[in-house]
């Protein structure tokens, strides 16, 4: 049975990455768009589309964020070096990238300084079923304004049904699961 749970875990992670509006989705999009712009550009070092997406990718892809520079950096580092840009992701912690579907709340601390909190509100893809259940997720990512360090972590529970719904992989995964059960 562990092979099945490993497969479901892989699909759940893949599904989470694809959720439009999420920080992970936006970061993958920025890094991917930087690669596409670099490959399509005749002068990559002065291409605004490449430079903007490259900068965004550096801000969101490091190990203290969603740690995807190890994937995209293999390609983007070459373009960055050609242009004399940094090839090391910025290490500012979570919250460097705010998605399109987000709001920023501002509050005043006891010392009188302003603090901004990006809030990302996303809804899961529409599910085709006889009964519909709507949920949404709210992520609050504090941005420190003093020398104190703020660490936020979050766990998003994903069930097998959530991982499979709306992505067109359901029939494929069902066939894989049947094959795995037949082997075991």
- Using pLDDT thresholds of 50, 70 and 90, give the confidence band for residue 148: low
Q: Which residues pair with 2 in a beta bridge?
A: none
For residues 124 and 153, membership in a common domain is answered with: yes
CB 110 within 8 A of CB 81: no
Quote the strand ranges of 36-136, DSSP E: 102-108, 114-122
DSSP bridge partners of 175: none
Q: Are residues 69 and 132 in the same domain?
A: no
Q: Give the chain's radius of gyration (CA, Å).
A: 20
- The model's pLDDT over 85-144, given as tens digits with 9 standing for 90+, comes to 999 998 765 444 444 444 333 444 455 544 444 444 444 444 444 444 444 455 445 555
Region at 112 (left for phi over 0; alpha for psi -120 to 50; beta for the rest) = left
Tell me the angle at which helices 48-60 and 69-82 cross, rounded to the nearest 10 degrees.
Answer: 140
- Write down the pLDDT at residue 55: 95
Containing structural domain, residue 142: 102-183
pLDDT tens across 41-83, in order? 999 999 999 999 999 999 998 888 878 899 899 999 999 999 9
For the chain, how many structural domains are there in total? 2
Query: Among the three residues 98, 126, 154, which one is the final residue of a domain in this structure?
Result: 98
The stretch 156-181 carries a mean pLDDT of: 57
The larger pLDDT score, comparing residue 111 to residue 182, is at 182
Are residues 64 and 82 part of one domain?
yes
Residue 93, Ramachandran bin (φ over 0: left; ψ between -120 and 50: alpha; else beta): left
CA atoms of 72 and 66, how far apart (whole Å): 12
Q: Are residues 131 and 64 in the same domain?
A: no
How far apart (Å, rounded) are the C-alpha atoms in residues 45 and 2?
48
CA distance 86 to 78: 11
Q: What is the pTM of this model?
A: 0.46
């Amino acid at each position: 049975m562990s092979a099945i749970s490993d497969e479901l875990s892989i699909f759940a992670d893949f599904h989470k990455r694809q959720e439009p509006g999420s920080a992970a989705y936006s970061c993958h999009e920025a890094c991917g768009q930087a690669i596409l712009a670099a490959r399509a550009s005749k002068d990559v070092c002065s291409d605004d589309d490449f430079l903007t997406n490259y900068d965004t990718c550096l801000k969101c892809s490091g190990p203290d964020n969603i740690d995807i520079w190890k994937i995209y950096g293999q390609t983007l580092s070459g373009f960055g070096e050609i242009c004399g840009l940094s090839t090391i992701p910025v290490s500012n912690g979570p919250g460097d990238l705010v998605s399109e579907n987000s709001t920023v709340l501002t509050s005043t601390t006891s010392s009188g300084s302003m603090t901004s909190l990006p809030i990302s509100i996303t809804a899961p893809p529409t599910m085709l079923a006889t009964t519909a259940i709507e949920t949404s997720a709210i992520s609050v990512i504090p941005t420190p304004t003093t020398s104190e360090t703020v660490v936020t972590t979050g766990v998003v529970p994903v069930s097998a049904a959530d991982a499979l719904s709306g992505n067109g992989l359901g029939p494929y995964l069902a066939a894989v699961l049947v094959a795995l059960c037949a082997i075991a």
